[in-house]
Amino acid sequence: MTDLVKTEPEIMAVTAIEHGVRLILKVPEDLDYFQGHFPGAPILAGVVQLDWAMRLASEYLLKAPFHHIQLQVLKFQVVITPGMTLTLDFQHGQGNKFSFIYRSNKGVHASGRVVYER
């Protein structure tokens, strides 16, 4: 029997917000991305946070595949650790833009704006 590799957050809830959608995510404590990043003090890498935002935006906000053209104002502010519950908000912007922001009771973790094409 093979071990399952956990690479995705658990989606606890999805709700509509003004101009977008809100996802409540649970970060699994045994997420594969925590291995070696960093021993004794695991954190979720920014590249993983960005990957999740892009894929979840495709599914829940745009409801279609897209290609990102440009990332604007990308910020990583507070580390995400195992077991955290996060709010991930997506909002449509002008033209082919959307923004995302990860929050928890610890504050804003990451945010950015994406210019995309379909």
Confidence (pTM): 0.93
Q: Is the pLDDT of residue 2 over 70?
A: no
pLDDT at 3: 59
Strands 67-76 and 97-104: unpaired
Per-residue pLDDT tens over the stretch 45-61? 999 999 999 999 999 99
Q: What is the 3-state secondary structure (H, E, C) of 5-47?
A: CCCCCEEEEEEEECCEEEEEEECCCCCHHHCCCCCCCCCCCHH
How is domain 10-117 classified at the CATH fold level? Thiol Ester Dehydrase; Chain A (3.10.129)
Confidence bin at 4 (pLDDT 50/70/90): confident
Q: By C-alpha distance, which of 100, 21, 46 is closest to 68?
A: 100
The domain locations on the chain are 10-117
Query: Quick one: pLDDT band at residue 1, thresholds 50, 70, 90?
Result: very low
Predicted pLDDT of residue 38: 82
Q: For the segment 12-30, what is each residue's pLDDT rounded down to a tens digit? A: 999 999 999 999 999 999 9
Percentage of residues of the chain with pLDDT beyond 70: 97
How crowded is residue 73: how many other Cβ atoms within 10 Å of its Cβ?
8
